[in-house]
Structure 1
Amino acid sequence: MMMILLLCSIVFFTILFSKKQSRWKKGKTPPSPPGLPLIGNLHQLGRHTHRSLCSLSHQYGPLMLLHLGSVPVLIVSSAEMAQEILKTHDVTFANRPRSKLSQKLLYNNRDVASAPYGEYWRQMKKVCVVHLLSNKMVKSFQDVREDEITLMMEKIRNSSSLPFNLSKILECLTNDVICRVALGRKYGGETDFKKLTDRLSELLGTFTIGSFVPWLSWIDWIRGWDAQLDKTGKDLDEFFERVVLDHEDGNHQDRTDLIDALLTVKREKSAGFDIDRLSIKAITLDVFVGGSDTSFTLLEWAMTELLRHPESMERLQEEVRTICKGKSRVSEDDTQEMKYLRAVIKEALRLHPPFPMMAPHESTEDVILRDYHIPAGTQVMMNAWAIGREVATWGPDAEEFKPERHLDTSVDFRGQNFELIPFGAGRRICPAVSFAVVLNEVVLANLVHGFDWKLPEESTEDKTDVAESNGFSVHREFPLYAIASSPTI
């Protein structure tokens, strides 16, 4: 009986797969690596998907079609093709595919990042831009950033010139800043909350068998992935529900935070439509996860590269210390004059985009790309990691850390230049770019202004590649240990 059911399942999904494949027979299709029956190219993704797909693109081109089980997915690995999709055909590819993961963890796609393209998404993005991420709102949290940077610098001074875990300090800083800005108080000291955010990041970066080969979804259930998804979604909602209740009851700090702003919008109906409780929690989750993880990952990789390249560290220190001569710390106004600082941040984002594989897009109608016929409903994944290392754009030294390459160019990461898209581009660009960048600039400037830095003598990081973690955001697999000492000047 079981054998009959198995054979029926195989036949059914083979027919379903064939029907989906037939949509691609209407015209020329992009190059595609050969796959295996039923699972397609799933076995070729590897431990680090962005690296595996970059290697495949060298053989099959910057617009490559993969069959992940029964799901056809376009992989984009060049600035030229990214511009074609995110600018020329921006509206066509502005949608997001639905998945069990986003439904369970992201409030059934009610957040801004994963919401389907349409009126709800437009209204929610407007709420974020106008009420949460305006220049006025970003500026209003300057004292929070200054407080937390002061605490960070004190922790480093107490290290007594011994090797210490810089990754942990940077993670604590960004977590505390985002908690205070978004939630009203710090939650970093609560172990369960830290474990919860780690679980979320790991799950968001998971490729699940059932999402691509539905008849094998029982494997996800057996290995406990479905249970993890349910528990993490439930725990997240319970946490954010408590935070919202605290704000409604007035049991939080006196200053206005992002949840206060959203509750005001809900109460006064100032958005022009009714924003409900689930939407408030979904937006808050977006801000917290995006803001905290992105900033921590960027700062960790920037300090990693500076420590591995002492000449770049010295040049940055010279710039910062010259502009801030006689000052005990660097202010946000001071960073406006620091061209090399911005070049370092651009180079860190180029080589180490926090989200190497950007959130997937989905086409809403048939379109022709480079003479290839792309049917409606096709998923598209941008490999920001590969685009940042494209030799045709960045030259033969594309793998090297060289901030100088950004000093005489107007290329930026705010969505107008497709050579550098760590935050995306087009309609679905991350709306919190300015919110994140102001923190990264002032933190990095204070680190190099206040201390001289070196790697521990036993470290081999200046000679070898640094191992990457798994997950939606990619940081170091092992913490960065460093030695800080008082400046010699």
Structure 2
Amino acid sequence: MEGILVLLLLPIVLLIIFSSFRKERSRKPPGPRGLPVIGNLHQLKEPLHEYFWRLSKKYGPLFYMKLGSRPVLVANSSRMAQEILKIQDIIFCSRPAILSFRKISYELLDIALSPYSEYWREMRKVCTLHLLSAKRVQSFRPIREDEVSRMVQKITLKASSFETINLTEMITFLTSTIICRVAFGKRYEQGSDESKRFNRLIHEFQTAVSDFYFTDYFPLIGWLDKITGKIANLDRICKEWDSFYQQIIDEHLDPDRSKSRDGDVIDILLQLREEELGTSFRLDMDHIKAVLMNVYFASTDTIATTTTWIMTSLIKNPVVMKKAQEEIRALLSQRKKEMVEEEDIMAVGLPYLNAVIKEAMRKYMTLPLLVPRETREKCTIDGFEIPAKTLVYVNVWAVANDPVIWENPEDFMPERFLEDDRRISMDLKGQDFELMPFGAGRRGCPGITMALATVQLALANFLYLFDWDVPDGMKKEDIDTECAPGMTSHKKNPLRVVAKKHTYSDVIM
């Protein structure tokens, strides 16, 4: 009798379990159906931000997927970005402890990749007060102006001999050298053996960080990363960088070193190491090295890529370039300067140039997907339940190219930031969720002041001192805007141009 009763009740019990399972699944955001074990990994396509944008057209501005065993949430609208980066920022403000992040950051002792904690709050406060304050950024102004002056001389020489200029390479060297001097107090001559070694380390670092590791998505078979040699390669790269950092630090600790401890980032950090910071930790060498990694890699790559895309946009849009040149030349020619200095930019404002910068950052987002976040606990967003430890991507490129927000988003129109009162006030600091090139919330980029100062100074001199064109046999329309794969949206092919010294400017020699 009991056996018959069990048989009769079994379908009902299974139905209840199945219904509960369906109900639980329905509470998560919609998303593409994946396969057992691997989830949606096999469906990912480069560039990832465009792939996510296409999925949002089908599943909505917030969708859910699985990458191996890791749940993933992707936000593709201004409203969802605001919910994640502001309204529920405290829940969404941590970082995933993925393998490459842990290795390069000395087990998450840095600022950019460290999970949200009391340590992170104290470390960020130390860095924003002592390394990235407006006063400190201003103290690095002579370095920025000196390096831009050196670049101007190189361009002048190439212009006088009608040489084609690899502007991407020149901009990358400029920003790398500025940050090297700011962070390490070192300058590497382009083409030297030391410079070539440094560039090799940078390339290997970027490749290893963006590589795929089984450990992050399939923990049970993470041992495959050892068998394939990926962990050994990552360890080798980290060891080389550690040796580089230590060499530079040892030079700063040399008692015979003449430079006083008020110069570069290492000077500042070594001084802080000797002081009572009022924090729960004391700065040691690993802390210093982790911060140096952030200062160099978070700055050089993004500043160079941003400047390259802005110049690409201007050369493809000669009418816009002419307006920008007319503005800066009209305002600065009366000062009879051989080159633009930062005080000139602050004095005259250059509203059109700033509109060009904003528009280029909108159209060609350097970091189209913000560095991934991780939910600290289970939460609800837009009526959907999101598990704790969910990997979260905010697709700021999709927001910045949303036709609902931006009229004709495919067009390059700096005027949109001059004719719309609401957009005139956009300052790129994460207060407006329609344009967030530097992120927003607790995890917003603290180096925005340094980045914008460098970009503005370089561009102002490009436009004030030179006229630009494409090489013979090429049309402006031929300049490609393809992106190379990776976290940062590098221009796939170098920007090659020719320059002509503007007639009223003196040759700087």
Does residue 446 of structure 1 match 2:454?
no
Tell which structure's C-alpha radius of gyration is larger.
2
Q: Distance in 1 between matches of 2:451 and 2:256?
A: 27
SS of alignment partner, residue 158 of structure 1: helix
C-alpha displacement of 1:23: 12
> In the alignment, residue 330 of structure 1 is paired with which amino acid?
V
Work out the CA distance in 1 between the residues paired with 2:429 and 2:351. 16
Deviations 1:72-126 (A, max 9, x none): 1001111110000111101011111111111111111110001111111011101
Corresponding position: 1:263 with 2:293: no
Alpha-carbon separation, structure 1, partners of 2:23 and 2:204: 37
* 1: CA distance, partners of 2:410 / 2:134: 35
Any stretches of 5+ residues in structure 1 without a counterpart? 1-20
- Kindly provide the CA deviation profile for residues 439-463 of structure 1, in whole angstroms up to 9, marking residues without a partner as x: 1101100001110001113335524
Shift in alpha-carbon separation, 1:22–1:244, aligned structure 2, 3 A = farther
Q: CA, structure 1 residues 468+419, in 2 after alignment: closer, same or farther (shift >3 Å)?
A: same
Other-structure match for 2:426: 411
Counterparts of residues 228-267 of structure 1 (less than 5 Å): 228-250=233-255, 254=259, 256-267=263-274
Distance 1:461 1:314, change over 3 A: closer
Q: Which of residues 275, 290, 294 is equivalent to 2:283? A: 275
Report what 1:307 is aligned to: 315
Per-residue CA deviations over 1:107-157 (Å, capped at 9, x if unaligned) read: 111100011111110111011111001111111111111110110001101
1:402 and 2:409 equivalent?
no
Q: How many residues align?
A: 468
Tell me whether 1:371 sits opposite 2:383 in the alignment: yes
- Asked if 2 retains the 8 angstrom alpha-carbon contact of 1:144 and 1:180, the reply is yes
Change (3 A) 1:23 1:222: farther
Q: Does 1:295 align with 2:300?
A: no
Q: Which of these residues, 308, 331, 350, is aligned with residue 338 of structure 1?
A: 350
> SS in structure 1 opposite 2:243?
helix
2:16 corresponds in structure 1 to none
Counterparts in 2 of 1:435 and 1:385: CA distance versus 1, 3 Å: same
Q: Distance in 2 between matches of 1:41 and 1:359?
A: 20
2:15 corresponds in structure 1 to none
Q: CA deviation at 1:484?
A: 0.2
**Closer/same/farther in 2, CA of residues 480 and 373 from structure 1, 3 Å limit:** same
Deviations 1:135-181 (A, max 9, x none): 11111111111110110001101112221111111111101100001
1:106 maps to what in 2? Answer: 105
Q: What amino acid is aligned across from residue 342 of structure 2 in structure 1?
A: E
Taking structure 1 as the reference length, the TM-score comes to: 0.91
Spell out, residue by residue over 1:406-459, the C-alpha distance to the aligned partner (whole angstroms, 9 max, x if none).
123222310101111111100111111111110110110000111000111333
Aligned to 1:90: 89
1:46-61 correspondence runs (5 A): 46-61=45-60
Mapped to 2, the partners of 1:206 and 1:349 lie a distance apart of 26
User: 1:323, 1:334 within 8 Å by CA — same for their partners in 2?
Assistant: no
Cα distance between partner residues in 2 of 1:253 and 1:153? 30
1:200 pairs with 2:205: yes
CA deviation after TM superposition for structure 1 residue 234, in Å: 1.1
Kindly provide the amino acid, as one letter, of the partner of residue 266 in structure 2: I
Percent sequence identity over aligned pairs:
40
Matches of 1:73 and 1:23 in 2, distance apart? 19
Distance in 2 separating the partners of 1:51 and 1:457:
33
The match for 1:16 is none
Match status 1:327 vs 2:332: no
Q: Is the 8 A contact 2:99 2:215 kept in 1?
A: no
Task: Check the 8 A contact 2:165/2:498 in 1, yes or no.
Answer: yes
Ranges in structure 2 where 5+ consecutive residues have no aligned partner: 1-19, 505-509
Instruction: Give, in whole Å, the separation in 1 of the partners of 2:46 and 2:232.
Output: 23
Question: What does residue 166 of structure 1 align with?
Answer: 167
In the TM superposition, residue 218 of structure 1 has moved relative to its aligned partner by 4.8
CA distance, structure 2, for counterparts of residue 63 and residue 303 of structure 1: 34
Check conservation: 2:99, 2:213, Cα contact below 8 A: no
- 8 A contact 1:205–1:473 mirrored in 2: no
Task: Report the 3-state secondary structure (helix = DSSP H, G, I; strand = E; otherwise coil) of the residue aligned with 2:65.
Answer: strand
The 1:251/1:465 distance shift into structure 2, 3 A limit, reads: farther
TM-score (norm 2): 0.88
3-state secondary structure, aligned to 1:64: strand
Distance 2:324 2:118 in 1: 45
Seen in structure 2, the aligned counterparts of structure 1 residues 73 and 441 have a Cα distance that, compared at 3 Å, is same
Following TM superposition, by how much is the alpha carbon of 1:24 offset from its aligned partner in structure 2, in angstroms? Answer: 9.2
Contact map agreement 2:93 2:374 (CA 8 A) in 1: yes
Instruction: Indicate the RMSD between aligned Cα atoms, in angstroms.
Output: 2.0
Correspondence for 2:73: 74
Alpha-carbon shift at residue 221 of structure 1 (Å): 3.8
Q: Residues 22, 234 of structure 1: CA spacing in aligned structure 2 closer, same or farther, 3 A cutoff?
A: farther
Cα displacement (A) at 1:223: 4.1
